[in-house]
C-alpha cells in the first residue's frame, strides 16, 4: 500500500486545476463583453473602447517574460490564487467604476490576473458570454445597472476557483530548492531560433482577432440593433466552435499536415473577419462566427507548438512567455488601432484590419513551411564509422 506524504498534492489535483481554470476563464469571458457594454453606458465611443481593450493587455505585456522565467526555474502554483484575486478584484471594481479612466485601470488589473490563467479551460469561454448576455439588458436605459451586475457576478465566479487551488503542486524537499539554478537562455537567442518569430506573429494575429471580436461585437450589435443576449450567444457560438476544432485536430493534422492546416485556417479566418464588416443578417453572422471560431481555435495551439518545438529545450517556458508578450503587444496595439479606425471609418472597419493581419499570418505560415521543406530536402549524410583494425579485434 502506497502512503501519500503530506507534501504530495494528491490524485485529484488535475481535476481541481481544470475546475479552477474553467471558473477563472468563465469569469474573464463573461467580463470582457460586459466591460464594453459598461463603457458604452458611460458614454464611450469606438476609440475609448479600443483604449480600454488595449489597457487590458498593458500590464501583462511587461509581466509575461518574468513570469515565464519563474516557471522555467521555480514554482508557479503560488501565482494562481494571486491571479484569481486580481481577476475577481478587476471584475468587481470595473462594475463599481463610474468613469472610463477607472474602467481602463481595472481592466488592466483583470488582464494581469488572466495572465496567470493563460492555459485556462475552454469551457469557461463557452459559458461566460451566454451568462453575460443573459444578465445585460438595454431596455429602459438599464444597461449601466445590468452591465455592472454582470461584472460583479463575474467577480464571484472567479472567486469560486480559489477553493480548487489548494495544494495542487508537489512540494520538493528544501534541499532540492537549494540546487544550483539552471543557466538562463538569452532572449535574443530564443528569438533567433528559426520558427519562433513566425509562431509569435501568428499567435499575435489569432489572439488579436479573438480579443477584438469579443470587445467590438457588442459595439457592432449596438449599431445594428442586435440585443446583448444575442451577442452573448454569438460569442459563445464562436467559443463552442473553438472547442469543437480541438476534437478533430489530430485527424486534420494527419490529413493536411501542420503547415497546410495552419495556413488554410489563417487564410479563411482573414476572409471571415473582413466579412463581419458587411451588414449581414444575424443568422449569416452566426455561421460566419462559428467557422471563424473553428479556424482561430486551430491557430492557437499550432502557433504554441510551433514556438515550443523551435525554442531551446531549457527555455521553453520563457519562449512561451515571449509568445505571450507578443500576444499582449497585439492586444494593446490592435484595439488601439481598431479604435482609431472605427472612429474614422465606422465600427465594422476594425474587422477589415483583422482580416489583413490574419492574411499576413497565413503568408508567414506558407513561408515557414517552405523553409522546413528546403531544410529537410537534403538530409545530412552520416559520417562513416572507422574500421576496426585486426589488432583491435584480437584485443577485444
CA distances to 22, 69, 182 from 178, rounded to whole Å, are 34, 17, 12
CB 202 within 8 A of CB 266: yes
Closest C-alpha to 219, from 45, 8, 68: 45
pLDDT in tens, 33-68: 888 888 888 888 878 888 887 787 777 777 666 666
Give the other-Cβ count within 10 Å of 118's Cβ. Answer: 18
CB 323 within 8 A of CB 41: no
Q: How far is CA 250 from the centre of its chain?
A: 21
Instruction: Give the 3-state secondary structure of residue 383.
Output: coil
Q: What is the crossing angle of helices 13-41 and 228-247, to 10°?
A: 150
> What φ, ψ does residue 158 adopt, rounded to 5°?
-65, -40
**Cα(295)–Cα(129) distance, integer angstroms:** 19
Q: What is the pTM of this model?
A: 0.68
CB 18 within 8 A of CB 121: yes
Give the other-Cβ count within 10 Å of 295's Cβ. Answer: 26
Give the other-Cβ count within 10 Å of 249's Cβ. Answer: 14
**Cα(106)–Cα(89) distance, integer angstroms:** 8
CB 329 within 8 A of CB 223: no
pLDDT in tens, 133-169: 767 766 566 777 888 888 888 888 777 777 666 655 5
CB 60 within 8 A of CB 123: no
**Cα(154)–Cα(30) distance, integer angstroms:** 6
Region label for 8, one of left (φ > 0), alpha (ψ between -120 and 50) or beta (otherwise):
beta
**Cα(291)–Cα(297) distance, integer angstroms:** 10
pLDDT in tens, 220-259: 888 888 888 898 899 889 988 988 888 888 888 888 888 8
Question: Residue 75: which residues within 8 A CB-CB, separation 6 or more?
Answer: 169
**Cα(109)–Cα(330) distance, integer angstroms:** 18
- The tens-digit pLDDT sequence of the chain (396 residues) is 444 444 445 556 666 767 777 787 778 878 888 888 888 888 888 788 888 877 877 777 776 666 666 555 555 556 677 778 888 888 888 888 888 888 888 888 888 787 766 543 645 555 666 677 767 766 566 777 888 888 888 888 777 777 666 655 544 444 444 444 456 777 777 777 777 888 888 888 888 888 888 888 888 888 888 888 898 899 889 988 988 888 888 888 888 888 889 889 999 999 999 898 888 999 999 999 999 999 998 888 888 877 877 777 766 767 777 787 777 777 777 777 777 777 777 777 788 888 888 998 888 877 766 655 555 544 433 444 445 444 444 444
DSSP H stretches of helix in the chain? 13-41, 46-55, 58-73, 79-96, 100-115, 123-135, 143-160, 174-177, 187-192, 196-224, 228-247, 249-256, 258-275, 282-310, 316-345, 349-377, 390-395
Range 206-225 burial, b when 16+ CB lie within 10 A, else e: bbbbbbbbbbbbbbbbbeee
> What φ, ψ does residue 17 adopt, rounded to 5°?
-65, -45
Amino acid at each position: 500500500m502506497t502512503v501519500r506524504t503530506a507534501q504530495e498534492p494528491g490524485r485529484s489535483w488535475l481535476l481541481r486545476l481544470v475546475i479552477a481554470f474553467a471558473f477563472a476563464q468563465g469569469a474573464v469571458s463573461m467580463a470582457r463583453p460586459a466591460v464594453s457594454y459598461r463603457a458604452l453606458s458611460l458614454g464611450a465611443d469606438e476609440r475609448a473602447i479600443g483604449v480600454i481593450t488595449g489597457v487590458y493587455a498593458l500590464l501583462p505585456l511587461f509581466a509575461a517574460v518574468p513570469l515565464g522565467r519563474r516557471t522555467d526555474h521555480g514554482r508557479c502554483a503560488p501565482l494562481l490564487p494571486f491571479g484569481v484575486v486580481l481577476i475577481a478584484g478587476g471584475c468587481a471594481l470595473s462594475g463599481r467604476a463610474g468613469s472610463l479612466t477607472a474602467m481602463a485601470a481595472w481592466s488592466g488589473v483583470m488582464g494581469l490576473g488572466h495572465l496567470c490563467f493563460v492555459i485556462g479551460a475552454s469551457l469557461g469561454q463557452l459559458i461566460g458570454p451566454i451568462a453575460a448576455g443573459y444578465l445585460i439588458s438595454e431596455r429602459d436605459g438599464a444597461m449601466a445597472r445590468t452591465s455592472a451586475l454582470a461584472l460583479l457576478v463575474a467577480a464571484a465566479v472567479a472567486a469560486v476557483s480559489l477553493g480548487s487551488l489548494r495544494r495542487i503542486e508537489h512540494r520538493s524537499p528544501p534541499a532540492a530548492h537549494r540546487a544550483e539554478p539552471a543557466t538562463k537562455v538569452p532572449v535574443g537567442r530564443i528569438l533567433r531560433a528559426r520558427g519562433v518569430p513566425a509562431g509569435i506573429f501568428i499567435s499575435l494575429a489569432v489572439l488579436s482577432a479573438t480579443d477584438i471580436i469579443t470587445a467590438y461585437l457588442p459595439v457592432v450589435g449596438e449599431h445594428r440593433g442586435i440585443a446583448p443576449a444575442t451577442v452573448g450567444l454569438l460569442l459563445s457560438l464562436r467559443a463552442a466552435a473553438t472547442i469543437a476544432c480541438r476534437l478533430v485536430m489530430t485527424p486534420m493534422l494527419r490529413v493536411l499536415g501542420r503547415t497546410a492546416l495552419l495556413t488554410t485556417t489563417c487564410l479563411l479566418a482573414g476572409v471571415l473577419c473582413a466579412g463581419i464588416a458587411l451588414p449581414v443578417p444575424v443568422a449569416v453572422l452566426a455561421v460566419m462566427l462559428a467557422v471563424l471560431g473553428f479556424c482561430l481555435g486551430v491557430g492557437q495551439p499550432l502557433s504554441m507548438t510551433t514556438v515550443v518545438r523551435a525554442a531551446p529545450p531549457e527555455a521553453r517556458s520563457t519562449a512561451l512567455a515571449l509568445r505571450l508578450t507578443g500576444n499582449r503587444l497585439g492586444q494593446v496595439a490592435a484595439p488601439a488601432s481598431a479604435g482609431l479606425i472605427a472612429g474614422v471609418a465606422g465600427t465594422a472597419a476594425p474587422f477589415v484590419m483583422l482580416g489583413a493581419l490574419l492574411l499576413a499570418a497565413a503568408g508567414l505560415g506558407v513561408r515557414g513551411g517552405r523553409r522546413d521543406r528546403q531544410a529537410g530536402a537534403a538530409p545530412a549524410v552520416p559520417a562513416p564509422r572507422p574500421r576496426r583494425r585486426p589488432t583491435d579485434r584480437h584485443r577485444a
